[in-house]
Structure 1
């Protein structure tokens, strides 16, 4: 097993511009991964920073974020009022890709895991999950990883039954959202917006760049 690159909580606080008390809260909430007493997995810090670039940008609520993704996917957001939808569409036409990624951040809470390779097949076939198809971005299918959304009610059961272990650099990404999972599935199955925004926060520079470009394309089509 590869060694874990670690960083002290004091160093994390300096990087994030917060107090060590805030760092401990981030560890307890699962936003950062504890490696040992007083130490944090560096990959989890990098992931946290990637998800929070442009921190001064106002983040949308979960329902608004999914409304934006629906519009970017060419769908209607019928859970939003007509005035809110109109304002949201106008905002999508005016903001840049970096701001858009930040605003969409709270669509779900991200958990990453490691586990036996066979687990990926089982996760991909689990109808409680909405698996995001990265091939719509032009990537070759990768059977060594999975990226999926699910209702919080199922997370503990799935993690426990499959023996998943939380790891900041894990290749099994489960994104927990309280938004209606059938609507999430519909958005995932239309267009590239959801796959794009997921890719845009990847720790891999090539995947991140691809996600940013395809998300920008979705925004461009909205303004056409």
Structure 2
């Protein structure tokens, strides 16, 4: 996602980076490329959904890395609605300490990961919004899924047009 977000990727080797660039360019040429990307990125985090209450939001939010959805015109609708990335240790600690209860229809979505959260924070704050599009594209809500998929397709096309993507 860092590469698609327009950021430098320095944690993989040149051969892997070249293959990744090539794969992203091929996805951009395929009408179903955004759906392939959604499928390939499915295991980037363990998505845990909880019921949420107003009083929980501030405590949880300070531990989350939230991707900016405003570019996609899908800002959160409720103040207790949260969706963001968090490392597995912190998520487990918050779940126990706050007594979070899993609820498939809850408004608190934790994308629990073992990946370096500093990198995720960089992608979420300095990137072009592709991470938010990916998160939304994986939504069960048909409208959100459509918005995210179209945005991902646009990011893929933009990536393929960018001369730096050829390096």
TM-score calculated relative to the size of structure 2: 0.87
Secondary structure of 2:2's match? Answer: helix
Distance 1:184 1:105, change over 3 A: same
Q: Which residue of 2 aligns with 1:113?
A: 50
Matched, 1:131 2:66: yes
Structure 2 residues without counterparts, runs of 5 or longer: 28-32, 162-167
2:41 to 96, 104, 118: 104
Q: Deviations over 1:60-93 (max 9, x none)?
A: xxxxxxxxx0011000110011111011011011
Q: Which residue of 2 aligns with 1:184?
A: 120
Secondary structure of 1:169's match? Answer: coil
Q: Residues 196 and 214 of structure 1 are in contact (CA less than 8 Å); yes or no, is this contact kept in structure 2?
A: yes
Instruction: Quote how far apart the aligned CAs of 1:141 are.
Output: 4.0
RMSD: 1.3
Instruction: Quote how far apart the aligned CAs of 1:144 are.
Output: 3.5
Matched, 1:81 2:13: yes
TM-score calculated relative to the size of structure 1: 0.66
The size of the alignment, in residue pairs, is 154
Matched, 1:200 2:137: yes
In 2: Cα distance, 1:134 partner to 1:158 partner: 24
Instruction: Quote how far apart the aligned CAs of 1:132 are.
Output: 2.1
In 2: Cα distance, 1:201 partner to 1:106 partner: 11
In 2: Cα distance, 1:159 partner to 1:108 partner: 16
Instruction: Quote how far apart the aligned CAs of 1:102 are.
Output: 0.2
Structure 1 residues without counterparts, runs of 5 or longer: 1-68
Q: Which has the higher contact order (CA 8 A, sep 6+)?
A: 2
In 1: Cα distance, 2:95 partner to 2:142 partner: 28
Instruction: Quote how far apart the aligned CAs of 1:116 are.
Output: 1.5
